[in-house]
Amino acid sequence: MALQLGDAAPDFTAETTQGTINLYEYLGDGWGVIFSHPKDFTPVCTTELGEVARLKGEFDKRNTKVIGLSVDPVDSHGNWASDIKDATGHELNFPLIGDKEAKVANLYGMIHPNASDTMTVRSVFIIGPDKKIKLTITYPASTGRNFLEILRVLDSLQLSSQYSVATPVNWNDGDDVIVGVGLSDEEAKAKFPKGFTTIKPYLRFTPQPNR
């Protein structure tokens, strides 16, 4: 059965371009993003890994570690790293798992037989500090991911984990947020001293509380 939101993220130990890592130890008390790519030395994957390397500082700001994976071995990843730097201008600065036997891929359901019975699809998993799955996204091999969207979702997840809020459509960090439906107006007044605007009894907007 596929991993679902709220499931415990399967722990594993694997060889990577930065040595042997154990997932839970590597993440510590922070957040994590695991993402798979179908194959080394392929065009879409090259652009994606360069982009994640470019954005690594943004993930660091969010106390989030990124980990890539494909079913190619670690030495192949290492050889590919120079191509990634040449093509994108960004040097690989996060671990890539070598998953030749597809152990991690199978743990996380990254191989979809109707797409390919050997290569991983473009899976994304966000893991919270409690080691639970907070988000899953699956892209086909032909479509590159939008990692700015993944950062946006991280901002939303981290905000809602600290405050009784949700984020509306097209929300970005700094925009107004939605007061949690479980709060009465009196509770909302106490929790959100900047006040809130009621559109409907179930739809109340308040300034982002950590701004």
The pLDDT tens digits for 149-197 are 999 999 999 999 999 999 999 999 999 999 999 999 999 999 999 999 9
Tokens of 89: 């201008």
Work out the mean pLDDT of the chain and round it to a whole number. Answer: 93
pLDDT of residue 194: 95
Residue with tokens 């709220």: 6
Within the chain, which residue ranges are assigned CATH 3.40.30.10? 13-145
pLDDT: which is higher, 111 or 200 = 200
Q: Where in the chain is the domain with CATH 3.30.1020.10?
A: 163-206
What pLDDT is attached to residue 45?
94
Helix-helix angle 43-61:74-88, to 10 degrees: 80
* Domain 163-206 class in CATH: alpha beta
Q: 23, 45, 159, 165: which is the annotated catalytic residue?
A: 45
Tens-digit pLDDT profile for residues 19-77: 999 999 999 999 999 999 988 999 999 999 999 999 999 999 999 999 999 889 999 99
Q: Under CATH, what is the fold of the domain 13-145? A: Glutaredoxin (3.40.30)
Instruction: Give the Cα-Cα-Cα angle 71, 76, 81 (nearest 5 degrees).
Output: 110
Strand order in 165-166's β-sheet? 165-166, 177-179, 203-206, 197-200
Give pLDDT tens digits for 116-144: 655 677 899 999 999 999 999 999 888 99
Annotation marks residue 45 as catalytic: yes
